[in-house]
Amino acid sequence: MLEYVWLIPFFPLVGVIINGLFGKKIRNEAFIGGLATAMVASSFVVSCGILIQLIGMEPEQRVFQKVLFTWIQAGTFKADIGFLVDPLSAIMIMVVTGVGSLIHLYSIGYMHGEEGFYRYFTYLNLFTFSMLLLVLGGNMLLMFVGWEGVGLCSYLLIGYYFHKKSAGDAGKKAFVMNRVGDFGFLIGLFTIFWWLGTNHNVWTINFVELKQASELLPFGGVVTFATLCFFLGATGKSAQIPLYTWLPDAMEGPTPVSALIHAATMVTAGVYMIGRMNFVFIKSPTTMLVIACTGAATALFAATIGMAQNDIKRVLAYSTVSQLGYMFLAMGVGAFTAGVFHLMTHAFFKACLFLGSGSVIHAMHHALHHGHLHDDPQDMRNMGGLRKKMPITFVTFLVSTIAISGIPPFSGFFSKDEILWQAFSNPYHGTANVVLWAIGTIAACLTAFYMFRLVFMTFCGECRINPKVKDHLHESPLVITIPLMVLGLLATFGGFIGIPKLLGDLFGGIPNRFELWLEPVFEKSTEYAGQYAHAGTHYGHSVEGGLMLLSVGVAALGIGIAYTLYIASPSIPQRFTARFPGLHQAVYNKWYVDELYDFLFVNPCKALGRFLWKGFDVLVVDGIVNGVAAVVRGFSGVLRYTQSGFVHNYAMTMALGVVVILAFYIFR
Amino acid sequence: MIPLHYYLVVSALLFSIGTVGVLTRRNAIVIFMCVELMLNAVNLTFVAFSNFLGSLDGQIFVFFVMTVAAAEAAVGLALMIAFFKNRESIDVEEMNLLKL
């Protein structure tokens, strides 16, 4: 089965070619959507086969490389089109193809009747192809191709409704901000390649060879520079401070796209990249601290913004940014397994939340459309009481919300608690660990609060939609609810593959399968970290258990506050905003970060562009070109008089010329 | 036996007359005839030198010149007829349509 790993990205590529070339002629929605879904589902089947085969192998042998052909060969530089299968990429392909095929299925229902149906599925297949290339690529360059490919598809799909100016702008914003990060990625790649080559004559970009060669890299120094560059790439792709502002705007795209690209898969590419190159990152304690701090700061910062948004998708977008912050926090404290675990559980519950919100928007849109109303179907202030109208959506949404809030035994609890525990106990950053843990815990409380605020405002209380169209609200069709139910189940039970040892022992010694599974991938980093880690205190079971209870407690506290404010006494939020209008405005306007960026970067860039246009291009460049033309015209104006148009003049000139030439030869 | 330089002087005179004619006359046919005069002046020189040097090369060249002159006359006259059909004149002063 492993030999056929190339089939995994190949299937979606076939979908791209068929739908992309002939989709416009085919026009049959069932065929186009069915084909795209079937292609991703086929990849999922192959991925399952590969996973099963990997499980059957010895843990040390679970690394397989399949080289299709040599792509670039220039001197000492060699890049193959080759795939790398190991426990980490196996998890990623399972998530991408599994969640991906559910979202493809969902899209058939959600995008029904949209103009450019074939275009949508072509892009979605192209995205799946690129994402699979990213996670399966056996070297940094092939990974970068996938990295750029998903960025392109993200741009195309955010701008799917390109006739809306805001959608086009959001697409461009995402693309440009990603470019900033991609630049970092490339510099990092060059640095590692060049440094290993010139100093140790190891010219390689292959991950397996790099892992061997990572012994040669120093702690800090050039590695700090390279990994910071890579991390810049990760902040762009995974929406971390300072490059996170594109993700909330990316909600202009269709909702399934938000679920697939901007929640479950693409935005986790940065986390995956750090996990893939853990043996490089771990060698720079500075970078690890930067990653941890950025992650923690993003987790808290995005959570605060999420508390005051009214657009259902924007709340989820900020929640995604915040959860990605958790993953980076985990990466930064050296808990790679926990980060990847959260990546996986987050893919389940966040995809479910986004698809649930899509189902709500779909219903709202139809009802409002029916009544010819122009209210915003995404504004939670227009919702409320949808629980009875849309029971399946409500239940799946609720379990995912509980999961993201970190209530046991739902999946989010296991992954988030693992991250917080590792942030507290891992001895890499000394006292900073406690601060990181505290920020993470506060953000966990905020997460529970704003997510339950979302649920209460949308599904509970009085129905605030215009009473005229109240009866037109109804549950979405099966093609939409089936993916919701599957993802809801995954969000509920997905955490059981990574039960922490403390709890596992309570229930008769269940091992942490997830950790064991990923152990061979991160073995080098454990080894390197041991060389510089502080000999920190070893905390006992009681501390771990206490922190676990505390994290559940703060989540419950967040839920309680949300219940008080939005169910028990709904007048408090208004009183609060009336009391602190400045604070509310600042949070509502996303702390004015967009305005700050406009002031610091966008407007200076525009001014520079205007200067180069009006000043340099018009005056200097055009001046030189036009000046040359004017000089030539002046001379030719004079010389033109010799062209009299009279044959006699020409003949005379010719005869005189002959005479002069003859005279020259005779008398010289 | 007429000395060589007599031929050369006549030939030079003929050539000069032809050149002046080409440069001064306005009627295209006259210009054409003057060109023929110049060609024949050259022919005379060729023949004179051929005789003087006892070589046939010059006379062979004359055949070529006569052939070219015949071809030129054919093409030139055709051009002139075409021109006359359009402009009702063969005055070279009026052939100035390419002027700016």
CA distance A318 to A316: 5
Inter-chain touch B19–A647, beta carbons under 8 Å: no
What DSSP designation does A67 have? E
Please tell me which of the candidates B23, B93, B96 has its beta carbon nearest to residue A651: B23
User: Does some domain include residue B74?
Assistant: yes
For A642, which residue in chain B has the nearest alpha carbon?
B99
Mean pLDDT estimate for chain A: 90
Q: Could you report the per-residue pLDDT of B62-95, keeping only the tens digit for each?
A: 999 999 999 999 999 999 999 899 888 888 877 7
* Chain-chain contact of A643 with B96 (C-beta, under 8 angstroms): no
Nearest residue of chain B to residue A651 (CA atoms): B23
Contact (CB<8Å) A646/B22: no
Summarised one tens digit per residue, pLDDT across range B9-31 is: 999 999 999 999 988 888 889 99
SS3 for B90?
Answer: coil
Given CA atoms A541, A544, A550, A556 in this order, what sign does their dihedral have? negative
Q: Which two three-digit tokens encode residue A380? A: 């939670």
Residue A639 to chain B, least CA–CA distance (Å): 12
Q: How far apart are CA A103 and CA A266, in angstroms?
A: 14
Q: Copy the structure tokens of residue A463.
A: 């129905």
A-chain residues near B100 (CB < 8 A): 640, 643, 645
Query: Biggest alpha carbon distance in chain A?
Result: 120
* B98 within some domain: no
The reply to whether B41 falls in a domain is yes
Instruction: Judge: A643–B24 Cβ closer than 8 Å, yes or no.
Output: no
Q: Between chain A and chain B, how many beta carbons pairs sit less than 8 Å apart?
A: 25
Handedness of CA A36, A38, A41, A45 (dihedral sign): negative
Q: Does A643 touch chain B (CB under 8 A)?
A: yes
A651 touches chain B (CB under 8 A): yes
Shortest CB distance from B100 goes to which of A643, A646, A655? A643
CATH number of residue B79's parent domain: 1.10.287.3510
Q: How many domains does chain B contain in total?
A: 1
Nearest to A135 by CA among A320, A271, A296, A300: A271
Question: What pLDDT sits at residue A61?
Answer: 87
Q: What is the pLDDT of residues A637-646, one digit of tens each?
A: 998 888 777 7
Question: In angstroms, what separates the C-alpha of A667 from chain B's closest C-alpha?
Answer: 19
The per-residue pLDDT for A317 is: 94
Query: What integer pLDDT is reported at residue B100 of this predicted model?
Result: 52
Measured between beta carbons, the chain B residues lying within 8 angstroms of A646 are 92-93, 96
Cα distance from A625 to chain B (closest Cα, Å)? 25
What are the E-state strand segments in A299-350? none
Which chain A residue is nearest to residue B24, measuring alpha carbons? A648
Q: Two tokens at A350? A: 């966040």
CB contact under 8 A, A643 and B99: yes
Among the residue ranges A81-85, A171-175, A382-386, A593-597, the one predicted with the least confidence is A382-386
CA distance A650 to chain B (A): 9
The answer to whether the CB atoms of A648 and B19 lie below 8 A apart is no
Q: Which of A367, A588, A402, A318 is nearest to A475 (CA)?
A: A367
- Asked which of A66-75, A194-203, A582-591 is least confident by mean pLDDT, the reply is A582-591
Q: What is the mean pLDDT of residues A115-120?
A: 90
Of B22, B96, B100, the CB nearest to A646: B96
Q: Tell me, what's the pLDDT at A372?
A: 85
B19: chain A residues, CB-CB within 8 Å: 655
Q: What is the ipTM of this complex?
A: 0.77
**Contact partners, residue A122, CB within 8 Å, separation at least 6:** A15, A16, A19, A20, A23, A36
B76 contacts in chain A (CB < 8 Å): none
Asked if residue B13 is part of any domain, the answer here is no
Q: Cα separation of B77 and A663, whole Å?
A: 34
DSSP secondary structure letter of residue A598: I
Token output for A358: 């899509």
Reading the block at residue A281, the tokens are 């990152």
Residues of B with CB under 8 A from a CB of A: 19, 22-24, 26, 92-93, 95-96, 98-100
Average pLDDT for A72-91:
91
Residue-number span of the structural domain to which B58 is assigned: 26-89
Instruction: Report residue A536's pLDDT band, with 50, 70 and 90 as the boundaries.
Output: low
Whether A375 contacts A331, CB under 8 Å: no
Overall average pLDDT of the A409-437 stretch? 87
Chain B partners of A651 at a C-beta cutoff of 8 Å? 22-23
For residue A87, say if its preceding peptide bond is cis, omega within 30 degrees of 0: no
8 Å CB contact of A644 and B99: yes
Q: Which residue of B has its CA nearest to A644?
A: B99
What's the pLDDT band for A188 if we cut at 50, 70, 90? very high
Smallest CA–CA separation between B17 and chain A, in Å?
13
The answer to whether residues A310 and A464 touch, using CB atoms and an 8 Å cutoff, is: no
Which of A301, A265, A274, A93 lies closest to A181, judged by CA? A274
The token duo for A195 is 């440094």
Which segment of A40-44, A306-310, A321-325, A354-358 scores lowest on mean pLDDT?
A306-310
pLDDT tens digits for A262-277? 888 999 999 999 999 9
Upper half-sphere CA count for residue A441 (Cβ side, 13 Å): 20
Subunit contact B23:A648, Cβ cutoff 8 A? yes
Q: Which of residues 321-380 of A touch B (CB under 8 A)?
A: none
Tell whether B12 is covered by a domain: no
Compute, in degrees rounded to 10, the torsion defined by CA atoms A309, A312, A315, A317: -130
Per residue in A560-609, pLDDT tens? 999 998 888 888 888 888 888 888 888 888 888 889 998 998 899 999 99
CB contact under 8 A, B23 and A647: no
CA distances A286 to A193, A242, A250, A658, Å, are 21, 18, 32, 85
Give bridge partners of residue A79 from the DSSP assignment: A72
* pLDDT tops 70 at residue A535: no
What is the DSSP track for A211-264?
HHHGGGSPSSTHHHHHHHHHHHHHHHHTT-TTS-THHHHGGGS-HHHHHIIIII
Q: Is A28 helix (H, G, I), strand (E, B) or coil?
A: coil
A653: nearest CA partner in chain B: B23
* Cα–Cα distances in angstroms (integers) from residue A230 to residues A86, A88, A240, A287, in the given order: 22, 19, 13, 10
Map tokens 């086929």 to a residue: A42
pLDDT for the residue numbered A609: 93
A334 burial class (0-12, 13-18, 19+ CB within 10 angstroms)?
buried
Is there a contact between A647 and B92 if contact means CB atoms under 8 Å apart?
A: yes
The verdict on A632 touching B (C-beta cutoff 8 Å) is no
Core vs surface per residue A217-246: b (16+ CB within 10 A) or e:
beeeebbbbbbbbbbbbbbbbbbbbebbbb
pLDDT tier at A170 (50, 70, 90 boundaries)? very high
For an interface test with B, the pick among A639, A642, A647, A662 (most B C-beta atoms closer than 10 Å) comes out as A647
For residue B95, is it within any domain? no
Cβ contact, residue pair B23, A655, below 8 Å = yes
Residue B96 lies in a domain: no
Which of B19, B27, B30 would you mutate first to test chain A, the one with the most A CBs within 10 A? B19
Tell me if the bond preceding A409 is cis, omega within 30° of 0.
yes
- 3-state secondary structure (DSSP) of residue A49: helix
Is the pLDDT at A16 greater than 70, yes or no?
yes
User: Which residue among B19, B26, B96 places its CB closest to the CB of A645?
Assistant: B96
In terms of DSSP H, where are the helices of chain B? 4-24, 28-53, 57-87
Residues of B in contact with A655 (CB under 8 A): 19, 22-23
Let me know if residue B21 belongs to a domain. no
Residue A150 has pLDDT above 70, yes or no: yes
Cβ contacts of A643 on chain B, cutoff 8 Å: 99-100
A646 at the B interface (CB within 8 A)? Answer: yes
| Alpha-carbon Rg for chain B in angstroms | 17
* Contact: B23, A652; criterion CB under 8 Å: yes
Whole-number percent of chain B with pLDDT over 90: 67
pTM of the full predicted structure?
Answer: 0.81
